[in-house]
A and B are shown apart, each in its own frame.
Chain A
Amino acid sequence: MGVLGRGLLGVYLSVLVLLPVAALLAQSAKGGTAAFWREVSNPQALAAIKLTLIISAIVVIVNAIFGTLIAWVLVRDEFRGKKIVNALIDLPFALPTIVIGLVLLALYGGGSPLGIDVAFTRASIALALLFVTLPFVVRSVQPVLIELDRSMEEAAASLGAGPVTVLRRIVLPALTPAIVSGVALSFARAVGEFGSLVLITGNLPFKTEVGSVYVFGQIQDENLPAAAAVSVVLLVVALIVLGGLALVSRWRSQHVL
């Protein structure tokens, strides 16, 4: 690739990613560490960050369980319409986030035909995040499960291990790295999620306001220092999770295989 091509790539990456991220970091560092902590430890900001982390953690645990189960059913079970179910898993990636919020509100909001109304509660945050992050664990466990050598399971079963023992001692250990990877991706996504939450959660400070929504509110109020500080916290959390994942999978590919 020529110098011109590399230059254009560099300019594009700078305009879109490098400069904006640098500006964000510069803004959050403007008043020094003291100012940064003052913004982050503002009670409303702190409540939003805490809520984001706690609900994301809960969502990720549910994802680990149901995602693995769904992957299992898609790989090991046979039933009519399996291909369609498999295709549906990607729906949350294809559907615009604002539509996801509206869709959930139509069924689980006020006037719900099921009589379940989670609108403006913390449960609505979890519901939206579960929808948005559904594909991650399924899609990372599925290929591993397909490749998994079944002779190990058969050997264990022929030696007298029951299905639960086989699952616990043979299958789950083999799937753990894939589950962890799906969980990390889900968590990073959940921490930053915004679009699917704006309609369904009501954005009530101290109650249903998550980090991204708090940042949005501060931008609207032109309080850029507060917006930038909480943004940096969200960014750092996501980077730690994704960076940790990258390091672990690098280490594994060098040491295990």
Chain B
Amino acid sequence: MSFSKLAARTVALGYLALLLVAPVIMIFYRTFEGGLAPVWTAINEPNAIHAFWLSIEIVAIAVPLNTAFGVGMALLLERGKFKGKLLLGMLIDLPFAISPVVVGLALVLVYGKTGWFGNWLIGHGIQIIFSVPGMVIATAVVSLPFVARETAPVLRELGTDAEQAAATLGASGWQTFWRITLPAIRWGVVYGVVLTTARALGEFGAVSVVSGRIEGQTQTLPLYVQDQFENFNVTGAYTAAVVLALLALGTLVAMNLLTRRTRRRTTV
């Protein structure tokens, strides 16, 4: 093997080791440094448990909504006939161009106390900002584009032959969608769902702005990590971070199993 090839390999792998791998290993080491007992105590902390389930709850609402929206939008973009498609596509991608903090601010400006709908919402006794609904909306915004982005190219490649044949044979729109289109695009959709879930579970900035961060009430697991770290409960922060990291590694495995079924695409 040539020297330059070996040098390239060493530099590339060394960079990845120092930037990605070593820090992640380090946090596992630091977490379990003092044995399993402190970790077990940290896991059973009521606020940690609450944060975990709140994160799951938010994901369980935001991800299905975004999945339905993403598939619908992909169908509209690939199968619909109307002007301004390019603009609509850009609008859907917009959350990727906006800082999560800015997403949070924008939501406060619409749904907050002094926001556009503030008076109306207060009048009807609805609180969105500084409560769970706002956190669900913030999570949905930042993870909005994934499903549409992963589904649209699969739809494009699929073409319309089978759908037209089904329609000719008398299938209704819904029948065609459930029996022909959806089975054909399912791996693209699933890949989008995995990315959406990972992003939703880990979202910090947008949720941080709209949550009000009330311990045991509006604290998701990522917010709990920050709170514990800043209150010098390092074991608590590390343990929650390790739980999130393990979920992320699970996501990574799922992504890799799925990319063998779908076309590899660069995602944000």
Residues of A within 8 A of B (CB): 1-2, 5-6, 8-9, 12-13, 15-21, 23-24, 26-27, 66, 69-70, 72-74, 76-77, 79, 85, 87-99, 102-104, 106-108, 113, 127, 130-131, 134-136, 139-140, 143, 163, 182, 185, 188-189, 191-195, 198-199, 211-213, 215-216, 219, 224, 227-228, 231, 234-235, 238-239, 242, 246
Inter-subunit contact A228/B105 (CB<8 Å): yes
Inter-subunit contact B99/A102 (CB<8 Å): no
Q: What separation, in Å, do the CA atoms of A248 and B265 have in the docked complex?
A: 19
Inter-subunit contact B105/A134 (CB<8 Å): no
B16 on the A face (CB < 8 A)? yes
Using A69-B8, A70-B12 as known contacts, say yes or no to A12 and B69 having CB atoms under 8 A apart: yes
A131 — which chain B residues lie within 8 A by C-beta? 19-20, 23
Q: What separation, in Å, do the CA atoms of A77 and B12 have in the docked complex?
A: 11
**Interface-side segment among B37-45, B149-157, B158-166, B201-209:** B201-209
- Besides the known contacts A94-B255, A192-B101, A242-B96, 11 further A-B residue pairs in the complex with CB atoms under 8 A apart: A13-B73, A20-B106, A69-B11, A74-B12, A87-B252, A91-B20, A94-B248, A95-B248, A99-B202, A103-B27, A198-B226
B49 — which chain A residues lie within 8 A by C-beta? none
Q: What separation, in Å, do the CA atoms of A240 and B94 have in the docked complex?
A: 12
A183 to chain B, nearest CB (A): 12
B189 on the A face (CB < 8 A)? no
Inter-subunit contact A72/B248 (CB<8 Å): no
Tell me the nearest residue of chain A to B195, going by C-beta: A93
B21 — which chain A residues lie within 8 A by C-beta? 88
Inter-subunit contact A23/B110 (CB<8 Å): yes
Inter-subunit contact A211/B97 (CB<8 Å): no
B169 on the A face (CB < 8 A)? no
Inter-subunit contact B102/A23 (CB<8 Å): no
Using A194-B204, A215-B105 as known contacts, say yes or no to A17 and B91 having CB atoms under 8 A apart: yes
Tell me the nearest residue of chain A to B25, going by C-beta: A107
Name 22 interchain pairs, CB-CB below 8 A, sorted by A: A1-B75, A8-B72, A17-B95, A20-B103, A21-B94, A21-B98, A23-B106, A66-B11, A70-B16, A88-B21, A93-B195, A94-B198, A96-B201, A98-B202, A106-B26, A139-B267, A188-B97, A192-B99, A193-B99, A194-B205, A231-B101, A238-B99
Tell me the nearest residue of chain A to B252, going by C-beta: A94
Tell me the nearest residue of chain B to A250, going by C-beta: B86
B192 on the A face (CB < 8 A)? no
Tell me the nearest residue of chain B to A191, going by C-beta: B99
Inter-subunit contact A98/B226 (CB<8 Å): yes
B13 on the A face (CB < 8 A)? yes
Contact indicator per residue, chain B 104-137, by CB within 8 Å of chain A (1) or not (0): 1111111000111000000000000000000001
A61 to chain B, nearest CB (A): 14
Contact among B12, B26, B73 with A107 in the assembled complex (CB-CB below 8 Å): B26
Using A77-B5, A93-B198, A96-B201 as known contacts, say yes or no to A17 and B94 having CB atoms under 8 A apart: yes
A163 — which chain B residues lie within 8 A by C-beta? 4
Specify the main secondary structure of chain B where it touches its partner.
helix
Q: What separation, in Å, do the CA atoms of A79 and B115 have in the docked complex?
A: 57
A227 — which chain B residues lie within 8 A by C-beta? 105
Residues of B within 8 A of A (CB): 4-5, 8-9, 11-13, 15-16, 19-24, 26-27, 30, 65, 69, 72-73, 75-76, 79-80, 90-110, 114-116, 137, 140-141, 144, 173, 195, 198, 201-205, 208-209, 222-223, 225-226, 229-230, 237-238, 241, 244-245, 248-249, 251-253, 255-256, 264, 266-268
Using A23-B110, A91-B20, A228-B105 as known contacts, say yes or no to A16 and B249 having CB atoms under 8 A apart: no
Using A1-B76, A102-B229, A215-B102 as known contacts, say yes or no to A96 and B244 having CB atoms under 8 A apart: yes
A136 — which chain B residues lie within 8 A by C-beta? 266, 268
Inter-subunit contact B252/A194 (CB<8 Å): no
Q: What are the 7 closest A-B residue pairs judged by CB atoms, nearest first? A: A96-B202, A192-B99, A20-B106, A195-B204, A194-B205, A23-B109, A94-B248
Inter-subunit contact B248/A140 (CB<8 Å): no
B34 to chain A, nearest CB (A): 14
Inter-subunit contact A24/B264 (CB<8 Å): no
A198 — which chain B residues lie within 8 A by C-beta? 204, 226
Inter-subunit contact A93/B267 (CB<8 Å): yes
B110 — which chain A residues lie within 8 A by C-beta? 19-20, 23
